[in-house]
Structure 1
């Protein structure tokens, strides 16, 4: 049996490998906490899709009660890591009172599993 390929993503100068939980920029790994990697993974896998707050909270935190401020903090961490701005987003757009949308063009990269 051949090893399955896994999917990584590229956008701008970033490479994101959700399986390895790694975001890199120009070959340099950006350290992010696991929940930030999970939120990024949800958004990058569906570029242009409105990821509603409840959808993200449920996908990343399961059925545990987590406040929206926790998600806001994670999105702020992601914006800082991506060099993005809330008022002029290149990557993460806020849709007030609804959620977030990953607005950059995303390319899928199929890598052979190790």
Structure 2
């Protein structure tokens, strides 16, 4: 019985880790496609006044809102990509921060 519980816990850990890893990979790919041109691969580029994402202190909801609606010269992406993709990008953006 104890062996079964350990096996199930290990299996759940692997599944959850794979799910987050896939989301992170998707977020990175989407970021590189849609965002890196202005923000740079590491989030520090600042082309056309783009903010340094490594220093951003925006909350999750603020990041999602800004990607969805755009701001100043940054276009809105809500009609180009899905809400899940926007969430994946926001998760990746948070991984670029110097502090977490």
TM-score using structure 2 length: 0.29
**Which structure has more strand as a fraction of its residues?**
1
